Amino acid sequence: MCALSEEEYTKVHSFRSVKQMWDTLGLTYEGSLEVKHNKLSLLAYKYELFEMEESKSIQTMFGRFQSIVNELSFLGRTYDNFDHIDKLLRSLPRKWRPQVTTLKASKNLEKLSLEELIGLLKVHELELQQDDVGRRQKSIELNVQKTKSTPSSSKDLRINDTSDESYSEGTCDTGDEISFLSRKIHSMMKKKGGIRWRKYSRPPREKA
Protein backbone atom coordinates (compact mmCIF):
# COMPACT_ATOMS: atom_id res chain seq x y z
CA MET A 1 0.00 0.00 0.00
CA CYS A 2 2.86 2.40 0.72
CA ALA A 3 4.22 1.89 -2.82
CA LEU A 4 1.03 3.18 -4.47
CA SER A 5 0.31 6.76 -5.40
CA GLU A 6 -2.74 8.47 -3.98
CA GLU A 7 -4.67 7.93 -7.22
CA GLU A 8 -3.91 4.21 -7.26
CA TYR A 9 -4.62 3.88 -3.55
CA THR A 10 -8.18 5.12 -4.00
CA LYS A 11 -8.79 2.28 -6.49
CA VAL A 12 -7.81 -0.57 -4.17
CA HIS A 13 -7.97 0.68 -0.58
CA SER A 14 -11.27 -1.11 0.07
CA PHE A 15 -9.90 -4.58 -0.78
CA ARG A 16 -8.77 -6.88 1.99
CA SER A 17 -6.30 -9.06 0.06
CA VAL A 18 -3.21 -8.34 -1.96
CA LYS A 19 -4.47 -10.55 -4.78
CA GLN A 20 -7.60 -8.43 -5.23
CA MET A 21 -5.52 -5.28 -5.36
CA TRP A 22 -3.06 -6.76 -7.86
CA ASP A 23 -5.76 -8.14 -10.16
CA THR A 24 -7.57 -4.80 -10.17
CA LEU A 25 -4.45 -2.84 -11.06
CA GLY A 26 -3.54 -5.41 -13.74
CA LEU A 27 -7.00 -5.17 -15.28
CA THR A 28 -6.81 -1.37 -15.24
CA TYR A 29 -3.50 -1.09 -17.09
CA GLU A 30 -3.25 -4.30 -19.10
CA GLY A 31 -6.90 -5.07 -19.75
CA SER A 32 -8.60 -8.41 -19.45
CA LEU A 33 -7.07 -11.64 -20.70
CA GLU A 34 -9.15 -11.42 -23.88
CA VAL A 35 -7.95 -7.86 -24.51
CA LYS A 36 -4.34 -8.96 -24.02
CA HIS A 37 -4.75 -11.79 -26.52
CA ASN A 38 -6.27 -9.45 -29.09
CA LYS A 39 -3.48 -6.90 -28.65
CA LEU A 40 -0.89 -9.63 -28.89
CA SER A 41 -2.43 -10.99 -32.07
CA LEU A 42 -2.54 -7.52 -33.63
CA LEU A 43 1.08 -6.76 -32.72
CA ALA A 44 2.27 -10.12 -34.03
CA TYR A 45 0.48 -9.38 -37.31
CA LYS A 46 2.15 -5.96 -37.51
CA TYR A 47 5.52 -7.59 -36.82
CA GLU A 48 5.12 -10.16 -39.59
CA LEU A 49 4.01 -7.56 -42.15
CA PHE A 50 6.52 -4.93 -41.09
CA GLU A 51 8.15 -3.07 -44.02
CA MET A 52 10.26 0.03 -44.38
CA GLU A 53 8.36 2.92 -45.94
CA GLU A 54 9.94 4.11 -49.20
CA SER A 55 10.41 7.76 -48.21
CA LYS A 56 11.50 7.14 -44.59
CA SER A 57 15.00 6.87 -43.15
CA ILE A 58 16.64 3.87 -41.51
CA GLN A 59 16.43 5.59 -38.12
CA THR A 60 12.67 6.15 -38.47
CA MET A 61 12.15 2.56 -39.60
CA PHE A 62 14.15 1.19 -36.66
CA GLY A 63 12.16 3.33 -34.20
CA ARG A 64 8.87 1.84 -35.46
CA PHE A 65 10.31 -1.64 -35.28
CA GLN A 66 11.57 -1.21 -31.70
CA SER A 67 8.18 0.08 -30.59
CA ILE A 68 6.46 -3.08 -31.87
CA VAL A 69 9.11 -5.35 -30.34
CA ASN A 70 8.83 -3.66 -26.92
CA GLU A 71 5.04 -3.96 -26.87
CA LEU A 72 5.27 -7.64 -27.80
CA SER A 73 7.80 -8.23 -25.04
CA PHE A 74 5.53 -6.47 -22.54
CA LEU A 75 2.71 -8.85 -23.47
CA GLY A 76 4.96 -11.90 -23.18
CA ARG A 77 5.88 -12.54 -26.81
CA THR A 78 9.62 -12.51 -27.49
CA TYR A 79 11.79 -13.21 -30.55
CA ASP A 80 15.50 -13.96 -30.68
CA ASN A 81 18.08 -11.62 -32.22
CA PHE A 82 18.33 -13.54 -35.50
CA ASP A 83 14.55 -13.20 -36.04
CA HIS A 84 14.79 -9.43 -35.63
CA ILE A 85 17.71 -9.11 -38.04
CA ASP A 86 16.08 -11.35 -40.63
CA LYS A 87 12.84 -9.37 -40.36
CA LEU A 88 14.63 -6.03 -40.80
CA LEU A 89 16.55 -7.22 -43.86
CA ARG A 90 13.39 -8.57 -45.48
CA SER A 91 11.55 -5.33 -44.77
CA LEU A 92 13.96 -3.17 -46.83
CA PRO A 93 12.85 -1.82 -50.26
CA ARG A 94 13.98 -3.39 -53.53
CA LYS A 95 16.85 -0.93 -54.10
CA TRP A 96 18.49 -2.33 -50.95
CA ARG A 97 18.63 -5.89 -52.32
CA PRO A 98 22.33 -5.76 -53.37
CA GLN A 99 23.33 -4.59 -49.88
CA VAL A 100 21.19 -7.27 -48.22
CA THR A 101 22.83 -9.95 -50.36
CA THR A 102 26.28 -8.61 -49.44
CA LEU A 103 25.48 -8.61 -45.72
CA LYS A 104 24.18 -12.16 -45.81
CA ALA A 105 27.29 -13.33 -47.64
CA SER A 106 29.89 -11.46 -45.56
CA LYS A 107 28.42 -11.36 -42.05
CA ASN A 108 27.42 -14.00 -39.55
CA LEU A 109 23.88 -12.81 -38.93
CA GLU A 110 23.48 -14.96 -35.82
CA LYS A 111 26.25 -13.01 -34.09
CA LEU A 112 25.38 -9.60 -35.54
CA SER A 113 23.68 -7.22 -33.09
CA LEU A 114 20.77 -4.98 -34.03
CA GLU A 115 22.83 -1.86 -33.30
CA GLU A 116 25.64 -3.03 -35.60
CA LEU A 117 23.17 -3.84 -38.36
CA ILE A 118 21.54 -0.41 -38.11
CA GLY A 119 24.97 1.22 -38.28
CA LEU A 120 25.82 -0.64 -41.51
CA LEU A 121 22.46 0.26 -43.03
CA LYS A 122 22.93 3.95 -42.17
CA VAL A 123 26.30 3.99 -43.96
CA HIS A 124 24.73 2.47 -47.07
CA GLU A 125 21.84 4.94 -46.82
CA LEU A 126 24.33 7.84 -47.08
CA GLU A 127 25.87 6.23 -50.19
CA LEU A 128 22.44 5.92 -51.82
CA GLN A 129 21.68 9.56 -51.06
CA GLN A 130 24.96 10.67 -52.65
CA ASP A 131 24.20 8.58 -55.75
CA ASP A 132 20.77 10.23 -56.04
CA VAL A 133 22.33 13.70 -55.81
CA GLY A 134 24.86 12.81 -58.52
CA ARG A 135 22.13 11.51 -60.85
CA ARG A 136 20.04 14.66 -60.36
CA GLN A 137 23.02 16.90 -61.15
CA LYS A 138 23.78 14.95 -64.35
CA SER A 139 20.14 15.19 -65.39
CA ILE A 140 20.15 18.97 -64.87
CA GLU A 141 23.38 19.35 -66.89
CA LEU A 142 21.94 17.31 -69.78
CA ASN A 143 18.78 19.41 -69.83
CA VAL A 144 20.84 22.62 -69.89
CA GLN A 145 22.95 21.33 -72.79
CA LYS A 146 19.84 20.36 -74.75
CA THR A 147 18.33 23.79 -74.13
CA LYS A 148 21.48 25.51 -75.40
CA SER A 149 21.83 23.35 -78.51
CA THR A 150 18.22 23.68 -79.71
CA PRO A 151 18.31 27.38 -80.88
CA SER A 152 21.55 26.94 -82.86
CA SER A 153 20.12 23.85 -84.55
CA SER A 154 17.05 25.82 -85.60
CA LYS A 155 19.28 28.61 -86.90
CA ASP A 156 21.36 26.16 -88.96
CA LEU A 157 18.18 24.71 -90.37
CA ARG A 158 16.97 28.15 -91.47
CA ILE A 159 20.34 28.87 -93.10
CA ASN A 160 20.21 25.57 -94.99
CA ASP A 161 16.68 26.32 -96.18
CA THR A 162 17.77 29.73 -97.44
CA SER A 163 20.76 28.24 -99.24
CA ASP A 164 18.55 25.64 -100.91
CA GLU A 165 16.18 28.35 -102.13
CA SER A 166 19.05 30.44 -103.49
CA TYR A 167 20.47 27.41 -105.25
CA SER A 168 17.08 26.63 -106.81
CA GLU A 169 16.69 30.20 -108.05
CA GLY A 170 20.23 30.17 -109.48
CA THR A 171 19.54 26.88 -111.21
CA CYS A 172 16.38 28.26 -112.79
CA ASP A 173 18.21 31.39 -114.00
CA THR A 174 21.00 29.33 -115.55
CA GLY A 175 18.49 27.11 -117.34
CA ASP A 176 16.76 30.14 -118.84
CA GLU A 177 20.07 31.52 -120.07
CA ILE A 178 21.07 28.22 -121.70
CA SER A 179 17.71 27.99 -123.43
CA PHE A 180 18.02 31.55 -124.72
CA LEU A 181 21.58 31.00 -126.02
CA SER A 182 20.52 27.78 -127.68
CA ARG A 183 17.77 29.57 -129.58
CA LYS A 184 20.13 32.39 -130.66
CA ILE A 185 22.79 29.94 -131.94
CA HIS A 186 20.15 27.95 -133.80
CA SER A 187 18.84 31.14 -135.45
CA MET A 188 22.33 32.28 -136.48
CA MET A 189 23.29 28.94 -137.97
CA LYS A 190 20.02 28.76 -139.85
CA LYS A 191 20.66 32.15 -141.46
CA LYS A 192 24.24 31.29 -142.47
CA GLY A 193 23.61 27.77 -143.68
CA GLY A 194 20.58 28.44 -145.92
CA ILE A 195 19.76 25.35 -147.95
CA ARG A 196 22.57 23.31 -146.41
CA TRP A 197 21.11 23.81 -142.97
CA ARG A 198 17.73 22.56 -144.08
CA LYS A 199 19.43 19.60 -145.80
CA TYR A 200 21.40 18.44 -142.80
CA SER A 201 18.98 19.53 -140.11
CA ARG A 202 17.32 16.80 -138.12
CA PRO A 203 13.64 16.03 -138.29
CA PRO A 204 11.46 18.05 -135.89
CA ARG A 205 10.68 15.01 -133.77
CA GLU A 206 14.37 14.18 -133.23
CA LYS A 207 15.11 17.82 -132.57
CA ALA A 208 12.49 17.88 -129.86
Give the total number of structural domains in the chain.
1
Residue 206 lies in a domain: no
Identify the pLDDT of residue 50. 94
In-domain check, residue 151:
no
Q: Is the pTM of this model over 0.75?
A: no
Distance CA 55, CA 66 (A): 19
Domain assignment present for residue 182? The answer is no
Supply the pLDDT for residue 191: 62
Residue 207 lies in a domain: no
List of residues 6+ apart from 68 with CB closer than 8 A: 43, 46, 47, 50
Q: Is residue 46 part of a domain?
A: yes
Q: Is 36 exposed, middle or buried (0-12, 13-18, 19+ CB in 10 A)?
A: middle
Residue 70: what residue type?
N
Q: Give the whole-angstrom CA distance, residue 46 versus residue 51.
A: 9
Dist CA 117 CA 102 (whole Å): 12
**Nearest Cα residue to 112 out of 84, 92, 131, 91:** 84
Phi/psi for 119 (5° steps) reads: -60, -45
Cβ atoms of residues 150 and 142 within 8 Å: no
Q: Which domain holds residue 99?
A: 6-135
Give yes or no for a contact between 52 and 13, defined as CB atoms under 8 angstroms apart.
Answer: no
- 150 assigned to some structural domain: no
Cα dist from 144 to 138, 141, 148, 161, whole Å: 10, 5, 6, 27
User: Residue 197: what pLDDT?
Assistant: 46
Determine, yes or no, domain membership for 167.
Answer: no
Residue 119 lies inside a defined structural domain of this protein: yes
> In the prediction, which pLDDT does 5 show?
87
Segment 18-69, tens digit of pLDDT:
999 888 888 887 776 777 888 889 999 999 999 998 888 999 999 999 999 9
Give pLDDT < 70 ranges for the chain.
Answer: 32, 149-176, 189-206, 208
Write the CB contacts of 2 (distance below 8 Å, at least 6 apart in sequence): none
